[in-house]
Chain A
Amino acid sequence: MFDYQFLIEVLVGGLLSGVMYSLVAIGFVVIYKTSGVLNFAQGAMLLFAALTFVSLVERGVALPLALLATLAIMVALGVAVERTVLRPLVNQPPITLFMATLGLSYVIEGAAQLLWGTQVHGLDIGISDVPLDIVGVFISRFDLFAAAVAGSLVALFALFFRTTRTGLSFRAVADDPFAALAVGLRLPRVWAIVWTVAGIVALVAGLLWGARLGVQFSLSLVVLKALPVLVLGGFDSIAGAIVGGLLIGAIEKLAEVYVGPLVGGGIEAWAGYVVALVFLLVRPSGLFGQKLVERV
């Protein structure tokens, strides 16, 4: 007799943990969309934000104040990255920029731990993790909260991109950077804002992931979970990041529970990658990614 209730529970758990992946992936998409850079340092930024917040709180700074201070620091980081890394590398091939963000992730990880130490910090954001019983299926309250946060974040972004002038300029730059330059948009400013936005996403994701795993170095490794999500959803689609996150989350959990025992378990580390790879062989630009037309 197949246990359907267990299947649903695994599925829901997978979908909700997928939301957490989406949160990280959105930070990538925002930057990729507007500057064509795959920002490997997103995980390091996540670690940096969470570590800064927790360390401030532990030093007795009031919560709202710590949040504001961390936000300010992330803004400063975004501007600094634009000045020191992006501006000198303008017009370089995307892969060069990617390697630069690899270097950047080393710098940020090192700096974060040099500043705040390497010990594990607990982070309590006041959500009890007592499972909720919905018609017999147990669902983690914390996961629901994370899903709500991710949902509102996406809604906020949609609103921001559609209705504000800055959002409009983002879309213009994403569409055609040269045309955007020609009509007088200041690319460096747009990039600085984009990196700031990615920093804020990193803060939100960092707090949620930090509350789940504890704030420590391994937090920066969640990028590795987000990458197959990006590959699946397409690097330049926020909707793709959400759908991809849900898919990868669900598949990972289902694979771990139903396929894992056959091969000895622990396949979560690569199941997402294999799924993304197989999918890519069929659709090379992901679910929602733009198809590239290459000219000779």
Chain B
Amino acid sequence: MDATSNPRQTLPVIDRILIGIGAVITFGVIPLAGSDYLMDAVLTPFLALALAAAGLNVLTGYAGQVSLGSAAFLAVGAYAAYNLHLRLPELPLLLDLVLAGLVAAAIGIVFGLPSLRLRGFYLAVSTLAAQFFVQWALTKFGWFSNDNPSGVIDAPALTIAGYSFTSAAGRYLFSLAVVTVATILTLLLLQSQTGRNFIAVRDHEIAAKVIGVPLLRTKLLAFGVSSFLIGVAGVLWAFAYLRTVEPAGFNLDRSFQILFIIIIGGLASLRGAFLGAAFIVVFPLILSRLGAALLGGVFDSGVLEMSQRIVIGALIIAFLIAEPRGLIALWDRFRAASAAWTGLRKTFPATDTSRS
């Protein structure tokens, strides 16, 4: 392989230009010119889900531990941030965000403990314990929701250093900034020795142990980092997107949704998490428009929900069969083909080298 396949190498000029243009559009053009609907109903949930999927991808895609309890950590993040803000109002919001992530990480490590003894299905099933326990605790103990009878919490106004981020554009920008920073940090982590340890544990646990990867620390760290990211995503979900959340919103279906994002987007790829999240957010909107246009009145919300389930399920199966590396593999192939066609670049790493 040539030098371009080394992720530590500086990016090619064209990529740097593209990233610059992307930053100008996402941070500048969209908040100024985008409609509230676009930012409120599409981009903000997309950002929160993408971050959650990136978190799950660290655990499942990179470290190979399947979790079915992601929604529990979303909930932990959301409720932790709510309580921190409520009970320690002197703390700045950004610190609440980080602390909420740390609380989620701590809970994630506790529920990750079984991974030291369990593998595969047994572990996947045991992560369901987190899902049910957290949902139960949040509904049962009024303290978490400041004694709201059904556990509903209302997010506080997003205010950072005196600036209010409560408008649609503000909440979008807030999410975007948080997600960008978190993604860059995650990327750096994954490219370090720790990230390679994750992959070693995923690919062959015993072999990893033999070459000196500390299994206990690596697995728990994977659970911790993953839960931290999902917890922060939970804060965005609750504070920037929905603003009023209840424990029932973080049910098993939400966990599956996040798992589906990384299957469709691509396991062991942060870009895949973003592509998958974009797909999961946009797809229902397209399906409802399409259904209404083609079938008219027959296509009511019940039919929509059911056909959504069918199509998502079928897509999961189709991706697992036809392209287990997900949308990101399709995207890379498309870019490689278009680059070869335009002759802009002679070489392009067509495959994600981090996945064997």
User: Which A residues fall within an 8 A CB radius of B?
Assistant: 38, 84-85, 88-89, 92, 94-96, 98-100, 102-111, 113-114, 118, 224, 227-228, 230-231, 235, 263-267, 269-270, 273-274, 276-277, 280-281, 284-286, 294, 296
B70 to chain A, nearest CB (A): 13
The residue that B120 contacts in the complex, of A95, A113, A274, with Cβ under 8 A, is A95
Residues of B within 8 Å of A269, CB to CB, are 132, 135-136
Q: Is the CB of A96 within 8 A of B136?
A: no
User: Is B252 at the interface (CB under 8 A from chain A)?
Assistant: yes
Closest partner residue, chain A, to B113 (CB atom): A281
Are A263 and B140 also in contact (CB < 8 A) when A102-B259, A102-B316 are? yes
Other A-B contacts than A95-B124, A96-B320, A103-B313, 18 sampled, CB-CB below 8 A, are A38-B121, A85-B321, A92-B320, A98-B66, A98-B121, A98-B124, A102-B260, A102-B313, A103-B260, A103-B317, A224-B128, A266-B140, A270-B136, A274-B129, A277-B114, A280-B117, A284-B122, A296-B204
Are A107 and B121 also in contact (CB < 8 A) when A267-B136, A274-B129, A296-B210 are? no
Closest partner residue, chain B, to A286 (CB atom): B122
Q: CA A267 – CA B118 in complex, angstroms?
A: 24
Are A106 and B312 also in contact (CB < 8 A) when A88-B321, A99-B263, A118-B302 are? yes
Q: Is the CB of A231 within 8 A of B316?
A: no
User: Is B285 at the interface (CB under 8 A from chain A)?
Assistant: no
Q: Is the CB of A100 within 8 A of B129?
A: no
Residues of A within 8 Å of B206, CB to CB, are 294, 296
Question: Is chain A's interface secondary structure helix, strand, loop, or mixed overall?
Answer: helix
Q: CA A158 – CA B340 in complex, angstroms?
A: 61
The 7 closest A-B pairs by CB, nearest first: A106-B313, A103-B316, A110-B309, A110-B310, A107-B313, A273-B129, A270-B132
The residue that A273 contacts in the complex, of B132, B135, B252, B309, with Cβ under 8 A, is B132
User: Which B residues fall within an 8 A CB radius of A?
Assistant: 66, 114, 117-122, 124-126, 128-129, 132-133, 135-136, 139-141, 204-207, 210, 252, 256, 259-260, 263, 302-303, 306-310, 312-317, 320-321, 324
Closest partner residue, chain B, to A85 (CB atom): B317
Q: Is the CB of A296 within 8 A of B316?
A: no
Closest partner residue, chain B, to A81 (CB atom): B317
Residues of B within 8 Å of A85, CB to CB, are 317, 321
Residues of B within 8 Å of A99, CB to CB, are 259, 263, 316, 320
Residues of B within 8 Å of A38, CB to CB, are 121, 124
Residues of A within 8 Å of B121, CB to CB, are 38, 94-95, 98, 235
Q: Is the CB of A94 within 8 A of B120?
A: yes
Q: Is the CB of B204 within 8 A of A110?
A: no
The residue that B306 contacts in the complex, of A110, A265, A273, with Cβ under 8 A, is A110
Q: Is the CB of A96 within 8 A of B324?
A: yes
A23 to chain B, nearest CB (A): 18
Q: Is the CB of A103 within 8 A of B315?
A: yes
Q: CA A216 – CA B281 in complex, angstroms?
A: 27
Are A106 and B140 also in contact (CB < 8 A) when A231-B125, A281-B117 are? no
Residues of B within 8 Å of A94, CB to CB, are 120-121
Q: CA A286 – CA B126 in complex, angstroms?
A: 13
Are A107 and B309 also in contact (CB < 8 A) when A95-B120, A114-B303, A277-B129 are? yes
Closest partner residue, chain A, to B310 (CB atom): A110
